[in-house]
Chains A and B, each alone.
Chain A
């Protein structure tokens, strides 16, 4: 059995902070492997040591295997936690970490190759007799060949990056007319985000729900599932809102899907945290993919089960974690997570970058925040737009939804626009409230840019009064007639 005293983190933002917090609680020091663009972010300030692994461009820093290995060794770490995204599902990286005498906190390179590569995973699932979505997973990546395969499958067809997820490298093809441009775009995005342009094709199920199971293989190879999450609310194939457990499963479906999830993870000799994703349509479920890493939405599972998946990952990598079946209890209450993206919801979700001003995440029972930036930090255009996650827990789903709306309204982010108004609209939508949403929910109800409501007279007056006070004018009073903007109010 190993005992880590220092762990390197090959990641950034809120997940790096999450890992640092878990390490701190376990008395383990941290080495943050960061890019030049991420100097003086929250994780940078929190880590025991920081080592710059390259410039802002991901290919030269967060995706640079030798630089990350050298950084981990130079920082005196015994293990590397890859977080999610970047190199987290890269078997070559896991292998290089192990070859360098370090421990990769995650599954073995073999397990990543078997399950993490979406194409290999489907082959394994086929052997296991799991239901699969029809598609093409061949080696021939020629665009013309891929278009031919798409026609064979029948439109609509979805193109996906073989080496990753998170919506990057994913495009929906509705006809051959647009296929060439979209496939090339998917290949470029896949190359840029995951270091490999390889894509595969799948029939697009248009009434499906996205249901996933958290699986965990302990140090002895015993795989258990930690129940389900629903992530049907997606925009541009990126999850926005996730919850545990799914409101869409019967006990029988939950049992069968859980067994299927454990079966494929066991076949892949899985150790550590992983997620088996399914599509559910008309009562039938199909294996989508296996994510061989910690998932962005892991907190909702932690909230309903009272576990700490990151600590479990670290203990497993130390050879120190064995499932206690008596400890795996039924989920309690309901948890929802909202991803906070730096984007302008009133301009079609265009990214918003710049210096963060005042930021406030109000504390309270059943509220949890995971964030990677503080006031004064800069949101750069180089990386994923997710700047924070807001997680709530409550006794049941309706109460959790109401709590989330309240928490989002209480949260303050100045300096960059966020998708908070968009999230509030979604959470208030009857389809979401009823739990009947599918992966086409956003496309169906929120395809247009959100319309920014006009300011009320009170809001204009508050703004005018605030400006006076910020400029050192009037103390604590402002009247409409005294506003420097009076002439504009009538015209706005």
Chain B
């Protein structure tokens, strides 16, 4: 809907909509989102999230290749698995060095955004 917000006596027009807990705003040629409960920048859509010892699905899609098995050593920046979404392949890499602790997905599996796919045991924990 179109909203009008008065700031210091000046009206500012914007388009705004609440979708699943996220506020979407189009104002002055820019679209931005905020978490409607906290007012912080929304990170819920299209973001990987997760901690660096986990590889999390950055988008919904299909796992097409697992490059490392549990127990394998992994270097920071090394490719761990491949996903396909919207007809393109995306290679997901480890953020930290260590050992593959667990793999929580299978080749061919359709995974949802944010699913933890691989857990890495950091090298310092050895």
The answer for the CA separation of A223 and B125 in the assembled complex, in Å, is: 69
State which residues 136-175 of A face B: CB under 8 Å: 167-168
State which residues 32-48 of B face A: CB under 8 Å: 32-34, 36, 38-41, 45-48
Smallest beta-carbon distance B42→chain A, Å: 10
Smallest beta-carbon distance B56→chain A, Å: 11
Of A350, A360, A471, the residue contacting B47 (CB under 8 A) is A350
List of A residues within 8 angstroms of B61 by Cβ: 351, 381
Inter-chain contact B31/A463, CB cutoff 8 Å: no
Known: A350-B58, A385-B86, A412-B15. A463 touches B38 (CB 8 A): no
1/0 per position for A454-492, CB-CB distance to B under 8 A? 010011111111110111000011111001110011001
1/0 per position for A184-220, CB-CB distance to B under 8 A? 0100110011000000000000000000000000000
Smallest beta-carbon distance A255→chain B, Å: 37
The answer for the CA separation of A462 and B113 in the assembled complex, in Å, is: 30
Known: A470-B1, A477-B6. A485 touches B86 (CB 8 A): no
Q: Which of B21-29, B69-77, B94-102, B116-124 contacts A (4 or more CB under 8 A)?
A: B21-29
Known: A463-B25, A488-B39. A192 touches B19 (CB 8 A): no
The answer for the CA separation of A415 and B7 in the assembled complex, in Å, is: 27
**Any B CB within 8 A of the CB of A277:** no
Smallest beta-carbon distance A480→chain B, Å: 7
Inter-chain contact B15/A488, CB cutoff 8 Å: no
List of A residues within 8 angstroms of B86 by Cβ: 342, 351, 381-385
The answer for the CA separation of A354 and B84 in the assembled complex, in Å, is: 17
Inter-chain contact A479/B7, CB cutoff 8 Å: yes
Known: A381-B85, A462-B5. A358 touches B24 (CB 8 A): yes
The bracket for how many chain B residues form the interface is 35 or more
1/0 per position for A429-445, CB-CB distance to B under 8 A? 00000000000000000
Inter-chain contact A459/B19, CB cutoff 8 Å: no
Inter-chain contact B87/A467, CB cutoff 8 Å: no
**Any B CB within 8 A of the CB of A181:** yes
Inter-chain contact B88/A492, CB cutoff 8 Å: no
Inter-chain contact B3/A413, CB cutoff 8 Å: no
Q: Determine chain A's interface SS by DSSP, over half rule.
A: mixed
The answer for the CA separation of A410 and B5 in the assembled complex, in Å, is: 19
The answer for the CA separation of A259 and B58 in the assembled complex, in Å, is: 47
Of A414, A471, A488, A492, the residue contacting B24 (CB under 8 A) is A414
Of B24, B25, B45, B87, the residue contacting A352 (CB under 8 A) is B45
Inter-chain contact B27/A462, CB cutoff 8 Å: yes
Inter-chain contact B46/A344, CB cutoff 8 Å: yes
Inter-chain contact A463/B59, CB cutoff 8 Å: no
Nearest-CB residue, chain A, relative to B13 = A462
Of A192, A193, A352, A452, the residue contacting B46 (CB under 8 A) is A352
The answer for the CA separation of A459 and B28 in the assembled complex, in Å, is: 9
Inter-chain contact B19/A415, CB cutoff 8 Å: yes
Nearest-CB residue, chain A, relative to B33 = A417
Inter-chain contact B47/A480, CB cutoff 8 Å: no
Nearest-CB residue, chain A, relative to B62 = A381
Inter-chain contact B3/A469, CB cutoff 8 Å: yes
Inter-chain contact B6/A488, CB cutoff 8 Å: no
Inter-chain contact A417/B46, CB cutoff 8 Å: yes
The answer for the CA separation of A37 and B8 in the assembled complex, in Å, is: 48
**Any B CB within 8 A of the CB of A420:** yes
Inter-chain contact A461/B19, CB cutoff 8 Å: no
**Any B CB within 8 A of the CB of A236:** yes
**Any B CB within 8 A of the CB of A353:** yes
Smallest beta-carbon distance A475→chain B, Å: 9
List of B residues within 8 angstroms of A458 by Cβ: 7, 12
Given contacts A347-B46, A470-B1, A478-B5, 15 further A-B contacts (CB under 8 A): A192-B87, A193-B87, A357-B19, A358-B1, A381-B59, A414-B26, A415-B24, A416-B45, A459-B27, A462-B27, A463-B25, A469-B3, A470-B3, A470-B17, A480-B7
6 pairs of A and B residues whose beta carbons are closest in the complex: A485-B39, A409-B29, A465-B5, A466-B16, A344-B46, A352-B46
Task: Please report B residues at the A interface, Cβ cutoff 8 Å.
Answer: 1, 3-7, 11-12, 14-20, 23-34, 36, 38-41, 45-48, 58-61, 64-65, 79, 82, 84-91, 113
In the complex, 30 of the A-B residue pairs with CB atoms within 8 angstroms, ordered by the A residue number, are: A188-B64, A188-B65, A188-B84, A192-B84, A192-B87, A343-B46, A350-B46, A350-B58, A354-B45, A357-B24, A358-B24, A412-B31, A413-B31, A414-B15, A416-B45, A420-B31, A455-B32, A459-B28, A462-B12, A462-B27, A464-B39, A466-B3, A467-B16, A467-B23, A469-B3, A470-B16, A470-B18, A485-B34, A488-B38, A488-B40
